[in-house]
Structure formats: C-alpha cells, structure tokens
Amino acid sequence: MTAPSTTIIVGAGFGGIAAARRLRTLTGRRRPEQVSRRLSAITRYGLEFRCAEVVGVDPAQRVLEIAGDRVKADALVLAPGAHLTLDPLPGAAGVAHQFYELDGALRLRDALDAFKGGRVLIAIIAPPYKCPAAPHEAALLLHERLTRRPGPEHFSIGLVTPEPQPMPVAGPTVGAAVRELHERRGITARFGAKPARVHASIAISAGSPPSRAVAGELEFADGTREPFDLLIVVPAHTAPTFLRESGLLGPNGWIPVDRGTLATPFDGVWAIGDATTVPLAGGGMLPKAGVFARAEGETVAQAIAARLLGQGESQRFDGRGGCYLETAQGEAAYADGQFFAEPMPVVALEPPSRGALGRKEEFARDWGRWY
C-alpha cells in the first residue's frame, strides 16, 4: 500500500487554484463582491486551506516556515504571485493610485468620481508586471469613463513606460495596433521613459466630505518632467520576501524554471505564475498573466500525479495562450500567442469586437466558478 503523501501549494491565484483543483481530480463596472471570492470555499473540493504568512522556505528539504510552524511536503508548488511596491518611485506613496489590488481600485474609483479635469497620467515603473495589456486597457477605459456626461469638461490622458512599445513581447505588429487604439482617442504615449521621482502638492478643501486635489510632475531618469492632476501607477513587481533567502531566485530576481515542466533545480519543487521566469526565444520572458499560470498549474498537477502514482512522464506546458484587451465602447480585442515559437514568439491581435468582449466576460465567470 502506498504511503500517504502531502502536496503543498503556496498561493491561491490562477496557478495555485488550477494546480489544486486539477491535482485533486487526478489525485470598474463591477462591485467588489462581484470580483471577490472566499478562498476558503475551495475546501468543498476536498482540499485543505490555510491562510497564513509563509516566512521562509527550504527547497532542498521541501520545508515551509508558516506562522511559527515547519511543514514538510513530499511535493511543493510555489505560486505566491508577485509583491507590488511603489518604493522604486520616491514621492509616489500617498499621491499615486493603482488598480492592481482591490483597495487601490476602490480608491481610484473615488478619485475619478471627484476628478474635475486636467491631466491623467498612467506611469509604468518597470517591467515585468502582471498582464502586459492592463495599462493600455486602463487608458482606453478611463477615456470612455471621462467622456461620459456628466464628466470633466477638459481632460487629457497620457501613458509613460520604460518599454520600447506596447506589449513588447507580442512584437511590433501588435504594438502598432495598440498605438493606433490610443491615437484614435487622443491618448498620448511616451515609450522608453523611466519614471524616477514624483513631485506633488496636495490641497484639501473644507466640505463634507472634504475634497482632495493633487497637482504635480513626474520626473524621468533623463531629468525631463511631465505634469499630472491624477497619477495612476503600475507598481514595481518583485518576488515575495520569503523567497529572497531561499536560493531559488535567479539573477533577474525571479524563480527560473524549466519551461516545459515548470520544475525548479530542486527535486520535487515546482514554481508557477508571476514569481517565475520562463525563458523565450530572443531573450524575452513569458508574460505574467493568469491564463499562463492556470495552464502551468494543470501541467504541474499532472506531473505530481505521475510522480506519486508512478505513471511516467506527463504533458508539457506549450507556452500557448492569449489575453483580452478591452477597448471600451462595448468591445474587446483578443491577442493570441505561440510564445515558444522559434526564432521569436508569434502573436496576433484580432480587431476589437463585441463578441470578444462577451468571451472575456465568460472567461471571468468561468474563473469565478472555480472558487
């Protein structure tokens, strides 16, 4: 009789949930409650759920330090996501908004409700970041929101990034198509510009509730500046703290994995999702996106099942996937990619359509059902 084994999955995002669900079978328009799920609900699938901070990991021994406990795993899957921070952009704290976390998105919603007009600036601190389409989608949706009536009489939207073009890993054709979407709406974009510091003043006026007005400038590494009245920042993404002394991180600060199996150099330890670096032809890395994390999770689940049940090799992750870019006006575009293609990834962007928006919404509903 085979002895019981323990598989531990760190993280409950796209990759972690996909791995857990699959392994068990083998072995701004929406309110917060519409985009939130209780993670504890996954216990109905026969899974144990523990909400606690992981403070350390010994990958050689497959041991986690969790809230004072040391937990040993027979198979360990690391899917902790990325840590988001404004630290590399001095002056941003308390001034800049962001939409990558629910609390930040709600504060941004309130700021947009109070916005009287002026310059909206979306700034990407540094790649890589989750969902390469997100900042461009945000600019398009913000334009739609601010052009509605009632709204500010005068506004402009700008986007700045250190990247050479929109969604660089998708190639120049997709980048040009996204630029055109911006240009149609008068959204200005500045590429190859690295944000370095925020200079801002905040004025709070009397009232119930009191209003808050911000005016400032974003300084770049070359010393130039750009003014703003509302600053939205894509935070810098880094590996979670507990990984930094683990010996798992590569020179670029992420966990290097075999791109077909998602295995780390440590036996019985896999990593998936945003905390990893998956190499691509041409020197790039696989985008940090939920669709890939989900596929990676299923690949790793099959590998663990094969390992535990002695079934030989399992399927390999093929690097295929895509994402939706909501373009406003009831439409979305879909980018579909073969990211392991040689000599470069091959990505195509479908023109915006109502059908693509419907598929995007169904994708969100499908993911919600996993919880």
Encode pLDDT of 322-350 as tens digits. 999 999 999 999 999 999 999 999 999 99
Dihedral sign, Cα of residue 176, residue 181, residue 186, residue 190? negative
pLDDT at 32: 60
Q: Is 201 helix (H, G, I), strand (E, B) or coil?
A: strand
Residue labelled with tokens 């009191």 = 210
Q: Which amino acid is at 250?
A: G
pLDDT at 25: 52
Task: Compute the distance between CA of residue 9 and CA of residue 3 in angstroms, rounded to an integer.
Answer: 20
Task: Compute the distance between CA of residue 79 and CA of residue 77 in angstroms, rounded to an integer.
Answer: 6
Domains and CATH numbers, the chain: 7-82+239-318 (3.50.50.60), 86-236 (3.50.50.60), 321-371 (no CATH)
pLDDT at position 369 over 90: no
pLDDT band, very low/low/confident/very high, at 364 (cuts 50, 70, 90): confident
Nearest to 78 by CA among 299, 289, 271, 295: 271
Nearest to 277 by CA among 251, 255, 296: 255
pLDDT at 212: 67
Q: Average pLDDT over the chain, rounded to whole?
A: 88
pTM of full prediction above 0.75: yes
22-40 b/e (C-beta count within 10 Å ≥ 16 → b): bbeebbeeeeeeeeeeeee
**Higher model confidence: residue 152 or residue 163?**
163
Encode pLDDT of 100-125 as tens digits. 998 999 999 999 988 989 999 999 99
Encode pLDDT of 234-290 as tens digits. 999 999 999 988 999 999 999 999 999 999 999 999 999 999 999 999 889 999 999
Encode pLDDT of 201-221 as tens digits. 876 666 656 666 788 999 999
Count of beta carbons in the 10 Å neighbourhood of residue 268 = 18
Q: What is the mean pLDDT of residues 57-61?
A: 96
Instruction: Classify residue 191 as exposed, middle or buried by CB count within 10 Å of its CB (0-12, 13-18, 19+).
Output: middle
pLDDT at position 306 over 60: yes
Residue labelled with tokens 């609390």 = 103
Q: Which letter does DSSP use for residue 147 in this model? A: H
Residue labelled with tokens 């169904």 = 362
Nearest to 124 by CA among 80, 92, 149: 92
